[in-house]
């Protein structure tokens, strides 16, 4: 039997018949010896895969929980005593989008170079408890009667969103860095979970509103569900060292860390080289999300069919697209950009649908009037978004040397958010175009 220190705890590994010794540094900087088995163990019952799906749900949970609770904020909390909305209510989604995505973007990029929390694995230990505290505070705000001070409630909520997504940016970046040391499909598992997160939030919102007639009670249980999910994420993180499959790949990573220390003492991580090497796939990820967020939900959403043709369709088919990559990985990295660039057609297609921006007199002709054609376009856009995004996220870390895959994985997470933010900003031009 061999023992080594991993994530601050002692882990015992059975000594297999065929093995070779590999030295690496433990978190306390001491040399330890661990067995490297000839054949990597299997992910029994897909437990590690499911854990990363769960963390994928977690990384987008803050965004989805707040955006799906639009009715709670606009129609209840930000309404005055006569139930008419305040000035802030009309711009809540715009404020919330900037308050969430800009800090998320900044801290995703900062975490690549500074590794907030030290070792990458500590990023989760530091961030999830902070996210839990913020959601608990959100539940407390739901319990409080704020009808006499809706404006103060608005700014407290915005500040809460800024802090939440700053912390979540580090968590988001860390999860992709951890998945990058595993085979391709585990990065796909995080993307799959991220896309499932929207469906999960929508279902929880519908169920809580259906079961509880009170906005306050429904919101309390709605946000309590997010707290439960993050408690499970935190618990499953500590279960990873007990899994032979994950432990094997972590040992390989720490072995590469040791080799880097021994061979490159005094040198820095070649961030620019890693970025340039992975750039083709990073561009695929960026452009896929850029096109998607340019039309969703700003142009994609329709006033009369928004629940079905926009949010439900998008979340369902983007999830199916991500799920497909766990079975099929085609096209190969060299040709992926062709299909990514082809998605540019969705921008004019949606603009030629019956897109009617509020307060704008449309001059561009409406060429697509059939609702079924509109829905089919929405399905293809959503499915291709989930599928191509997943492929790009899976391919990017594998374009660099194994010892740099964690950094490449963190670059993909940051470039994903960059595509989201850029797409949202670009969508503001469309009212002027039509």
DSSP state of 311: I
DSSP state of 45: G
Cβ 227 vs Cβ 136: under 8 Å: yes
Quote the distance between the C-alpha of residue 222 and its chain's center: 20
Q: Which residues contact 30 (CB under 8 A, 6 or more apart)?
A: 5
Residue-range domains of the chain with CATH: 46-260 (1.20.1250.20), 269-433 (no CATH)
3-state secondary structure of 267: coil
Confidence of residue 260 (pLDDT cuts 50, 70, 90): low
The residue written with tokens 């967020």 in the block is 293
Closest CA to 151 of 93, 195, 87, 198: 87
Q: Are strands 9-13 and 19-25 parallel, antiparallel or unpaired?
A: unpaired
3-state secondary structure of 11: strand
> Could you give the angle at which helices 122-143 and 150-179 cross, rounded to 10 degrees?
160
pLDDT at 7: 46
4 bridge partner residues: 11
- Give the residue with greater pLDDT, 35 vs 394: 394
Average pLDDT over residues 296-307: 62
> What are the angstrom distances between the C-alpha of 111 and each of 74, 117, 135, 409?
33, 9, 22, 12
Q: Find the range with the poorest average confidence among 55-69, 124-138, 308-322, 398-412.
A: 308-322
Confidence of residue 419 (pLDDT cuts 50, 70, 90): very high
Average pLDDT over residues 318-341: 93
Q: Rg of the chain's alpha carbons, rounded to an integer?
A: 23
Closest CA to 391 of 343, 337, 342: 337
pLDDT at 189: 92
**Residues 171-196 as b or e (16 or more Cβ within 10 Å = b):** bbbbbbbbbbbbbbbbbbbbbbbbbb
Closest CA to 407 of 289, 279, 270, 284: 270
> In angstroms, how far is the first alpha carbon of the chain from the final one?
70
Per-residue pLDDT tens over the stretch 102-134? 999 999 899 888 866 556 667 788 899 999 999
pLDDT at 177: 87
pLDDT at 381: 95
How many Å apart are CA 120 and CA 10, to the nearest integer?
Answer: 19
> What are the angstrom distances between the C-alpha of 335 and each of 281, 329, 331, 388, 415?
10, 12, 6, 11, 20
In 191-312 the beta strands, taken as DSSP E runs, fall at: none
How many Å apart are CA 253 and CA 259, to the nearest integer?
Answer: 10
Cis check: omega of the bond before 297, within 30 degrees of 0: yes
- Give the residue with greater pLDDT, 165 vs 13: 165
Question: What is the CB neighbour count within 10 angstroms for residue 266?
Answer: 4
Cis check: omega of the bond before 331, within 30 degrees of 0: yes
Is it the case that residue 267 has pLDDT exceeding 70? Answer: no
3-state secondary structure of 349: helix
CA triplet 272, 277, 278: central angle to 5 degrees?
A: 100
Cβ 407 vs Cβ 269: under 8 Å: yes
Per-residue pLDDT tens over the stretch 278-291? 999 999 999 999 99
pLDDT at 434: 83
The residue written with tokens 């590994």 in the block is 13
Is it the case that residue 21 has pLDDT exceeding 70? Answer: no
Residue 285 class from Cβ within 10 Å (0-12 exposed, 13-18 middle, 19+ buried)?
buried
Question: What is the CB neighbour count within 10 angstroms for residue 27?
Answer: 14
Closest CA to 119 of 296, 291, 254: 254
Cβ 99 vs Cβ 168: under 8 Å: no
């Amino acid at each position: 039997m061999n023992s080594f220190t991993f994530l601050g705890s002692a882990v015992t590994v059975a000594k297999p018949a065929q093995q070779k010794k590999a030295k690496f540094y433990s978190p306390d900087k001491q040399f330890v010896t661990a067995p490297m088995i000839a054949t990597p163990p299997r992910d029994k019952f897909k437990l590690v895969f499911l854990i990363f799906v769960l963390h994928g749900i977690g990384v987008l949970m803050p965004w989805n929980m707040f955006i799906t609770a639009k009715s709670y904020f606009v129609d209840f909390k930000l309404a005055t005593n006569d139930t008419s909305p305040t000035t802030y209510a009309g711009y809540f989604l715009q404020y919330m989008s900037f308050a969430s995505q800009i800090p998320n973007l900044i801290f995703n990029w900062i975490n690549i170079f500074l590794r907030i929390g030290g070792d990458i694995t500590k990023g989760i230990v530091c961030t999830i408890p902070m996210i839990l505290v913020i959601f608990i505070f959100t539940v407390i705000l739901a319990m409080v009667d704020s009808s006499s001070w809706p404006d103060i409630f608005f700014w407290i909520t915005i500040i809460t969103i800024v802090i939440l997504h700053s912390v979540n940016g580090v968590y988001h970046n860390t999860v992709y860095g951890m998945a990058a040391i595993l085979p391709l499909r585990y990065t796909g598992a995080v993307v799959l979970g991220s896309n499932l997160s929207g469906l999960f939030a929508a279902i929880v919102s519908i169920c809580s509103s259906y079961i509880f007639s009170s906005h306050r009670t429904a919101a309390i249980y709605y946000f309590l569900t997010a707290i439960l999910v993050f408690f499970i994420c935190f618990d499953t993180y500590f279960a990873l060292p007990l899994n032979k499959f994950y432990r094997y790949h972590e040992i390989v990573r720490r072995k590469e860390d040791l080799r880097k220390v021994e061979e490159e003492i005094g040198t820095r991580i070649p961030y620019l080289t890693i970025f340039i090497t992975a750039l083709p796939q990073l561009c695929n990820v960026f452009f896929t999300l850029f096109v998607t967020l340019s039309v969703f939900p700003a142009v994609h959403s329709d006033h009369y069919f928004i629940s079905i043709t926009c949010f439900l369709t998008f979340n369902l088919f983007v999830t199916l697209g991500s799920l497909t990559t766990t079975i099929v990985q085609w096209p190969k990295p060299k040709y992926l950009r062709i299909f990514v660039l082809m998605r540019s057609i969705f921008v004019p297609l949606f603009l030629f649908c019956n897109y009617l921006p509020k307060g704008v007199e449309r001059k561009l002709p409406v060429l697509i009037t059939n609702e079924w054609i509109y829905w089919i376009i929405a399905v293809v856009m959503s499915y291709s978004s989930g599928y191509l995004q997943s492929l790009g996220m899976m391919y990017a870390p594998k374009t660099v040397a194994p010892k740099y895959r964690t950094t490449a994985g963190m670059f993909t997470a940051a470039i994903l958010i960059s595509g989201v933010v850029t797409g949202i900003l670009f969508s503001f031009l469309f009212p002027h175009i039509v």
